[in-house]
Amino acid sequence: MHTLYGISNCNTVKKAKDWLEANHIEYQFHDYRKQGLTADLLASFEAALGWEKLLNKQSTSWRKLNDEQKSNVSKQTALQYMLETPTLIKRPVLDTGEKMIIGFKAENYQQQL
């Protein structure tokens, strides 16, 4: 079974859920705010996708970081920031069991699922 990771009030996550349901693809939803985010889970995301793709520099959470934090971002600091503030992770992350897909575009899901 697929696992969709994100936060429930995110519009992009809602679109991904709607697409999966419309295409009869079973999944379970993991809400970072309710079920949390562990260092191991984040490490698995990073290993599959890379920290640069995971870090959402368009997010409100990113804009709240100070200039020093933004300018000195590295793999280590990015992972620390994402663990402390999961809304810094680009959403959603879909784990199919074989691969991970980040973000949502219907055509991308169509091709990869």
Instruction: Answer yes or no: 10 catalytic.
Output: yes
Query: Residue type for 108, please?
Result: N
Question: Which of 3, 4, 8, 10 is the catalytic position?
Answer: 10
The CB-based long-range contact list for 45-50 (8 Å cut-off, 24+ gap) reads 45/5, 45/89, 45/93, 45/100, 46/75, 46/79, 48/99, 48/100, 49/93, 49/100, 49/102
DSSP class of residue 1 equals: -
The CA distances from residue 29 to 65, 86, 89, 92, in Å, are 28, 15, 16, 10
Which residues are 85's β-sheet partners?
none
Residues serving a catalytic function are 10
